[in-house]
Structure 1
Amino acid sequence: MKFFIAFAVLIAGISAVPHHDINSIDFSNERLVTDAIEDVIEEVSQAIKDAGLDPFHIKREDFNYALPVPELFKIDAYIDEVLSTGLSNIKTNRLYYSVLLSRLYFDLELPLIHFSLGGAKADAVLFNHDLGASGSGSVDVESIRVVGDIDIYLGIITGVSVQSIDISFTLGDIKSNANLVILGEDYSDDFNNYVGGVVPETIKAHYNEINELFEIVILDLINEHL
């Protein structure tokens, strides 16, 4: 679910234009409005990079633990070459503000988020029983896209407010090419079918609910900063 969290951070950042910045924008000038939004998108993209999320890289981590009586429980594990890229690559397919309608139209996309694992392995003992698991591979999340429009009200006394938001969230595809072995059994196909099949199908089957949630969250975020 990491890509959903990242996208929520993106939307929050775009919405969180400081109050004084909003009031300083000339809403009679289409270009100034879109330039201000583009600046925020760039800031969010840079913030994701500065937070170490793109690229996110773990060269190697080892973990070892044992009870004082190791026959009851002990574990030796490692992960190697964990990599995630693409979270900050925010593509603006369309960004337009209509002065006549006081409406902002947008089409934003994360074209590709890549996750890969060079290798991971865990060997454990539980009550004198040997347990083990290993994994490697990659998962690609393709085309996370949000298209929508925001109806803005410009009041002489009340200032800037948002009348309504319409959101259309879509997911292109998820491709999983992973290897997973647990207790000597190969679960690679099961994992790949679930991540690359069940997960995207479930998301697509609930577009309406996801869009409704985005609309509620984004509206709340915007109102907090107006």
Structure 2
Amino acid sequence: MKSIAVAVLMLLASANTLPTLSEDELRQERLITDVIINIIKDFSQSIVDAGLDPFEVENAQGQFALSEPEVFSAVAHVQGFSFKGLSNIAIHNMQFSILASRLTFDVSLPKLSLSVGDSGFEVILLGRELNGHGSGSVEIDELRLRGEVRVNIGVISGISVRSLDLWFSMKGINSNLHLILFGRDISEKCNNYLNNTLPNALNENQAEINELLEFIVWKIIDKLL
């Protein structure tokens, strides 16, 4: 992944050496954006090849117990589990400006969906039995990330990122879960949290979330450059 990033940066450097906006520069701009788009597509395909989209479990069960089961033992099962949408990366905009040394992008995951036919666990802890059951579905609509990256390119100093601005958004969540935990039906509280409380909290704290994303990306850039 680091070698790919270096290759992209070399393209940026070669493009920036051209003095005026010519046909060669336009071809360089298209080449740079095409390379980035192909990296995203390759990453998306790698998710599919790894079996992560769709990720499906028809039937699975596991158990664990200490030598004295009454102290601690656990059994869990899941049926009809499905998670889809992780590789479906939509590219709404991808542009690089040579004159401004600026990359702008707009990408999203249109829909992430998770569904469970049936799941449950039973735990014995110090002689006390704890259990839970769950089923249903959750859909996350349009996780979107827009950004603008400006770079400095010098013969001696090399390539450095001058500024980075990111904007994250989520359209909404549609949760339809049925959850029973320790004998209590918590379905309504859980669905209300996912459908209303969490999206509202993300919207209210969008500036802080964007700052955190920018901090993380800066750390990644520092390791690559």
| Structure 1 segment 33-182 matched on structure 2, within 5 A | 33-68=32-67, 70-71=69-70, 73-126=72-125, 129-182=128-181
What is the CA–CA distance in structure 1 between the aligned matches of 2:104 and 2:60, rounded to whole Å?
44
Structure 1 alignment gaps of length 5 or more: 1-12
Structure 1 residues 51-102: Cα deviation after superposition (integer angstroms, max 9, x where no partner): 3321112222212344555555544331112211111111100111112211
Greater CA drift, 69-78 or 191-200: 69-78
The answer to which of 71-80 and 116-125 deviates more is 71-80
Q: Looking at both structures, which has the greater relative contact order when contacts are Cα pairs under 8 Å and sequence separation is at least 6?
A: 1
Q: Are the aligned partners of 1:16 and 1:221 in contact in 2 as well (CA < 8 Å)?
A: no
Is the Cα–Cα contact under 8 Å of residues 17 and 225 in structure 1 kept in the other structure? no
TM-score, normalised to structure 1's length?
Answer: 0.83
Is the contact between residue 133 and residue 183 of structure 1 (CA under 8 Å) also seen in structure 2? Answer: yes
Give, in angstroms, the shift of residue 129 of structure 1: 5.0
Instruction: Please tell me whether the aligned partners of residues 121 and 135 of structure 1 are also in contact (alpha carbons under 8 angstroms).
Output: yes
Alpha-carbon distance in structure 2 between the residues aligned to 1:138 and 1:51: 23
**Aligned partners of 2:216, 2:110: CA distance in 1, in Å?**
23
Q: Which residue of 2 aligns with 1:17?
A: 4
Of 205-214 and 104-113, the range deviating more from structure 2: 205-214
Aligned CA distance change for structure 1 residues 134 and 31 (closer, same or farther; 3 Å): same
Backbone CA RMSD of aligned residues: 2.3
> Which is greater in Rg?
2
Deviations 1:28-63 (A, max 9, x none): 321011111101111211222233321112222212
Is 1:63–1:77's contact at 8 Å kept on the other side of the alignment? yes
Q: 1:24 to 1:61 in 2, by over 3 A?
A: same
- Give distance in 2, aligned partners of 1:160 and 1:72: 59
* Whole-angstrom distance in 2 between the partners of 1:219 and 1:91: 23
Seen in structure 2, the aligned counterparts of structure 1 residues 155 and 33 have a Cα distance that, compared at 3 Å, is same
Q: Which runs of 5+ in 2 are unaligned?
A: 16-24
* Alignment partners' CA distance in 1, 2:124 and 2:7: 60
What residue is the counterpart of 1:4 in the other structure? Answer: none
Q: Contact 1:16 / 1:222 at 8 angstroms: preserved in 2?
A: no
Answer yes or no: is the 8 Å Cα contact 2:8–2:36 preserved in 1. Answer: no
Counterpart of 1:17 in 2: which secondary structure?
Answer: helix
* Count of residue pairs the alignment pairs up: 213
Distance in 1 between residues matched to 2:37 and 2:190, nearest whole Å: 38
Q: How far apart are residue 21 of structure 1 and its match? A: 4.3
CA contact (8 A) 1:121 1:132 kept: yes
191-200 or 72-81: which moved more? 72-81
1:212 aligns with 2:211: yes
